[in-house]
Amino acid sequence: MTRRAAAAALVACAGAAALAGCATSPPQPDPVQLQLADLGTRLTRVERVVDNRSLLDLSNQLDATRADQRTLHNEVDELRHRLDQDRKRELAQYADLDARLKKLEAEQAAVGGAGTGGAGAGADAGAGGAGSGDTGAVSGGGTDESGSQGASNGAPASGGASAPSDQSAGQPAASSAAPASSGAAAGGDQAAYQAAFDRLKSGDYAQAAAAFKRFLADHPNSDYAPNAQYWIGWTYYVNREFEPALHAFQAVIDDYSSSTKVPDAMLNVGYCEYELKHRTEAQRVLRAVIAKYPGTSAARLAAKRLAEIRAESR
């Protein structure tokens, strides 16, 4: 019995030792869990790379947008500068027009006062009233024109088919060129023309254009017709309606080729082509003005605008 008890005790001790050894040995890691953890780490690394690239793309797009914005700002500033220059030029030219009109009106009054009386003096006075202010002092775009009006500062000579002769610096001709009778120049066409021109001088360009158009419809063969057609183009130009202005000035050239308004009409056609961004055509027309009418104010202004176009293209 003693031996059996000892053997049983020995077996019990061995079992207990075995159980104790199993309880204290660390468990082996699960391979699946290890792979999942590795995949998670790699996925995190990839996400970081993608995020960095997205930020880089966004940064590049932002830089490109800023560059485009700077370019647009520069273009807007340039357009504003050109607009300011155009406004200043027009204001200066309007001031010059007003001064020249006043000077010519004073000279016309002096001519009328110096007359010897009779029918000739009366005709001179009437001519001064009809044409006062309708001088060659205006050309398209607000520039001074080549003084292309005639005897009575824009009132055509009564006996001729063309507008009055071209005078240098816009000065009126001698009083002998004024109407010599109470015919067309002293009739309804003269009053209608003067009424339209008064609207032009007052700055009411829309009404002036309508009045000049009515004048041409009512008096198509009047000696004042070339001037009326010219001022229609001018009313369009000052309102920056360059396409209809071009057609109106071209009508002066086509329909009244013998008129002294033709050089200035050609000059203004060139100006309109320039404003419409037709630079090649503008240069062609301006060169034609210089070639056909050398030494005139229209030619000098054409040369000036050509120089400006060349400077802009550099």
For residue 297, which of 167, 177, 174, 173 has the smallest C-alpha distance? 167
Q: Show the tokens assigned to 284.
A: 């062609």
State the number of CA atoms in the 13 A half-sphere of 112 facing the CB: 20
Q: Provide CATH code, domain 86-161+169-174+187-312.
A: 1.25.40.10
For residue 167, which of 182, 181, 180, 177 has the smallest C-alpha distance? 177
pLDDT at 28: 73
Give the chain's radius of gyration (CA, Å).
Answer: 45
Q: Which residue has the tokens 């792979």?
A: 35
pLDDT at 24: 54
The residue length of the chain stands at 314
Per-residue pLDDT of the chain (314 residues; tens, 9 = 90+): 566 666 666 666 666 666 555 555 566 777 777 788 888 888 888 877 777 777 777 778 888 888 888 888 788 888 877 777 776 676 667 667 766 776 776 776 666 554 434 333 333 333 333 333 454 334 444 344 333 333 333 333 333 322 323 333 332 222 222 333 334 444 578 899 999 999 998 888 999 999 999 999 999 999 999 999 999 999 999 999 999 999 999 999 999 999 999 999 999 999 999 999 999 999 999 999 999 999 999 999 999 999 998 888 77
What span, in angstroms and rounded, lies between the C-alpha atoms of 168 and 172?
Answer: 9
Q: Show the tokens assigned to 268.
A: 């203004």
Q: Which residue has the tokens 């130009």?
A: 237
Per-residue buried b or exposed e for 198-218, using 16+ beta carbons within 10 Å of the residue's own CB:
bbbeeeebebbbebbbebbee
